Amino acid sequence: MKNPRTALTGKKRIPVIFAFVLLAGLVIASFTLDFGLVRSESAANSQVSTFSVMNPQVDLSGTVYLYVEGNDPVSKALEAELTQDLRGIAAEVKLSAILHEQFDGPVIAVFMIREDPFYTPVYATATADMLYCFSSIGSTRYFIDFYRAEFGVPEPAVIFDSSDGPQLLEKGRVSVTISLRGLFSWPASKRYLAEPFSREIVTQLSSLP
């Protein structure tokens, strides 16, 4: 015959175990699934330098190549956002896993410089900086040098070879601050951070001559 006190203790354990399983499931979901009901506030600004020779006319109506450095969550989210947003100004966006020295069409490369995130499932903030580089003729000759300059290496002097014809090179540093409130997962917070970066980059590219 079971002791009544033991049976009562066993019944009390059931809600505790259930609460523990529910909490563990919520934690796992918060860091693996992409979901969220969010109110967000963000601000973005950019510093852009443009170099050109022989009065180029940039044509983004065809195929544009996109390279995003890194496999971190923000970079992967930005790759997805840029692929979607660039389709508003380009007929086709081709992703490249390697930064080749030369592409056969306009190319955009994006590099993460800094990210300072804070995350909870109900509130998150982040401040981040990214560098994007664009070449109208697909040459990435200066891209890595521009990136290194963000960490103290001397800024390269841009010297064009006129035999390549008209060309335009653009370098932009984009800074974003964002705050999120609601209920959302960690992957969703990265996606919300990527969105203003993508909008700012595409806005700058849309204004090219």
d(CA 111, CA 46): 14
Residue burial 48-71, b: 16+ Cβ < 10 Å; e: rest: eeeebbeebebebeeebbbbbbee
Confidence (pLDDT) at 166: 95
Residue 51, CB-side half-sphere exposure with 13 Å CA sphere: 16
Domain residues of the chain, as ranges? 1-32, 36-206
Confidence (pLDDT) at 209: 80
Confidence (pLDDT) at 11: 52
Residues of the chain scoring pLDDT < 70 = 1-36
Q: What is the DSSP letter of 97?
A: S
Q: pLDDT of 99-109, one tens digit each?
A: 999 999 999 99
Confidence (pLDDT) at 162: 82
CB under 8 A, 24+ apart: contacts of 19-28: 26/121
Tell me the pTM: 0.84
Asked whether 205 and 60 are in contact (CB, 8 A), the reply is: yes
